[in-house]
């Protein structure tokens, strides 16, 4: 059976302003959401949920706790580690530099990272954006006895020492966290700015995402309204907030809230940040793809009429799903290891789609 293909055309700019407070959803939907989100209710590691329809937050709620030890409840302003939801922001930084005329998507990455080995000579920026570069997974290169967190330069050194690839660049698709770490380093080298500073100046501040930041443990600034990650074992919650890979940045280092992600969603309908050509590139399927049901753009997965991305790291499971043609978005951020919320977000989204 031929898989469904689609092309997401640039959407005409809309005057979207996400409300600071959600409009009340229909009572039937309120009750349904209570039922759907019940696993996050009570004295448990929690979640934050926002549903945006036509530029307005129609659901905006927190469930459970952001900090169990201090009894801090989760709310729409709670900031969670986004994990791989961060990749769409790293991709946006690359597209901004393209708009500035500072790079081309088909530039070989060794132009900007010359310490990479000869095996990487054919890998382009576009390959990294679409997970078609063939890089060896840096997670598989970490010594078993390592306890200190890796930073981006550690990842670069590990990849640079390989001089081998999984496949010829552009010939296959294999999800690569290391590729997005390298993209973050390319942003730094081209811009002359730290990646965190570049994102703040060019993305977060212009969009009014005042509480979103790229965070490294032990290196400020600290995260306000921070959710801490947890794992449940035999009915007991244990804090599991940081791992050896929790300090890398381009692949997963952003903390944000559902409130701020609603502002990001609104900007993706307009030229406020990315122009129409950049948005078209971000949401265009790229061959080859490993999954017959899911395409990949630049930091976004593409399925049917949705564009989305999940994010999982120790203590966190998140998802953002957008239905651009119907102007509906669902974001669920959670601070627990168990249960990936993608199917839950799909179910919630269906309550608000036009029939």
Question: Coil, strand, or helix at residue 161?
Answer: coil
How large a percentage of the chain has pLDDT more than 70? 92
Strand ranges inside 212-336, DSSP E: 213-214, 230-233, 236-239, 254-256, 295-296, 301-303, 306-313, 316-323, 328-334
- 265 close to 19: Cβ distance less than 8 angstroms: no
Length of the chain: 355
Lowest mean pLDDT among 2-11, 101-110, 117-126, 168-177: 2-11
Query: What is the pLDDT confidence band of residue 27, given thresholds at 50, 70 and 90?
Result: low
**What is the rounded distance in angstroms from the CA atom of residue 205 to the CA atom of residue 117?**
36
The DSSP letter of residue 202 is I
The DSSP letter of residue 211 is T
Burial zone of 183 (CB within 10 Å; 0-12 exposed, 13-18 middle, 19+ buried): buried
Q: For residue 216, list its beta bridge partners.
A: 219
Predicted pLDDT of residue 64: 98
Report the phi/psi class of residue 327: left, alpha or beta, with left for phi > 0 and alpha for psi in -120 to 50: left
Predicted pLDDT of residue 220: 74
pLDDT in tens, 232-284: 999 999 999 999 999 999 999 999 999 999 999 999 999 999 999 999 999 99
- The mean pLDDT of the chain is 92
| Mean pLDDT of the region 192-201 | 97
**DSSP letter string over 99-134?**
HTTS--TTSBGGGT-TTS-GGGTT-BHHHHHTT-S-
H helices of 234-275, where?
258-267
- Which of 10, 7, 5, 4 minimizes the C-alpha distance to 280? 10
- Please check the confidence at residue 223 and state whether its pLDDT lies above 60: yes
The model carries a pTM of 0.92
Phi first, then psi, for residue 10 (nearest 5°) are -65, 135
pLDDT in tens, 319-335: 999 999 999 999 999 99
- Please check the confidence at residue 211 and state whether its pLDDT lies above 90: yes
* Count of C-beta atoms within a 10 Å radius of residue 249: 25
Arch. (CATH architecture) of 27-350: 3-Layer(aba) Sandwich (3.40)
CA 242 to chain CA centroid, nearest Å: 17
Predicted pLDDT of residue 80: 98
pLDDT in tens, 160-193: 999 999 999 999 999 999 999 999 999 999 999 9
**What is the rounded distance in angstroms from the CA atom of residue 211 to the CA atom of residue 43?**
26
Provide the sign of the torsion angle of the four alpha carbons 296, 300, 305, 311, taken in this order.
positive
Burial zone of 292 (CB within 10 Å; 0-12 exposed, 13-18 middle, 19+ buried): exposed
């Amino acid at each position: 059976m031929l898989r469904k293909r689609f092309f997401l055309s640039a959407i005409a700019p809309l005057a979207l302003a996400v409300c600071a407070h959600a409009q009340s959803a229909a009572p039937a939907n309120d009750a349904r959401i209570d039922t759907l989100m019940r696993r996050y209710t009570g004295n448990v590691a929690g979640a934050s949920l926002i549903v945006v329809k036509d530029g307005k937050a129609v659901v905006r709620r927190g469930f459970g706790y952001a900090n169990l030890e201090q009894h801090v409840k989760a709310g729409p302003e709670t900031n969670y580690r986004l994990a791989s939801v961060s990749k769409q922001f790293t991709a946006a930084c690359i597209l901004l530099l393209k708009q500035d005329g500072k790079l081309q998507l088909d530039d070989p990455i060794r132009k900007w990272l010359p310490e990479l080995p000869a095996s990487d000579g054919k890998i382009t920026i576009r390959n990294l954006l679409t997970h078609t570069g063939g890089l060896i997974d840096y997670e598989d290169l970490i010594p078993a006895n390592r306890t200190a967190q890796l930073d981006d330069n550690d990842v670069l050194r590990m990849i640079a020492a390989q001089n081998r690839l999984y496949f010829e660049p552009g010939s296959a698709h294999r999800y690569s966290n290391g590729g997005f770490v390298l993209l973050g380093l390319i942003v730094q080298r081209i811009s002359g700015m730290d990646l965190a500073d570049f994102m703040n100046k060019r993305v977060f501040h212009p969009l009014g995402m005042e509480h979103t930041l790229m965070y490294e443990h032990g290196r400020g600034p600290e995260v306000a309204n921070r959710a801490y990650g947890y794992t449940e074992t035999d009915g007991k919650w244990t804090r599991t907030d940081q791992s050896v890979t929790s300090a890398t940045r381009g692949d997963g280092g952003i903390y944000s809230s559902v409130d701020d992600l609603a502002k990001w969603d609104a900007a993706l309908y307009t030229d406020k940040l990315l122009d129409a050509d950049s948005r078209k590139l971000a949401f265009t399927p790229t061959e080859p793809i490993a999954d017959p049901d899911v395409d990949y753009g630049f930091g976004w997965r593409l399925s049917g009429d949705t564009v989305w991305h999940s994010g999982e790291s120790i203590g966190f499971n998140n998802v953002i799903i957008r239905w651009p043609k119907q102007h509906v978005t669902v974001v669920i951020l959670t601070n627990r290891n168990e249960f990936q919320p993608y199917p839950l977000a799909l179910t919630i989204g269906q309550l608000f789609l036009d029939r």
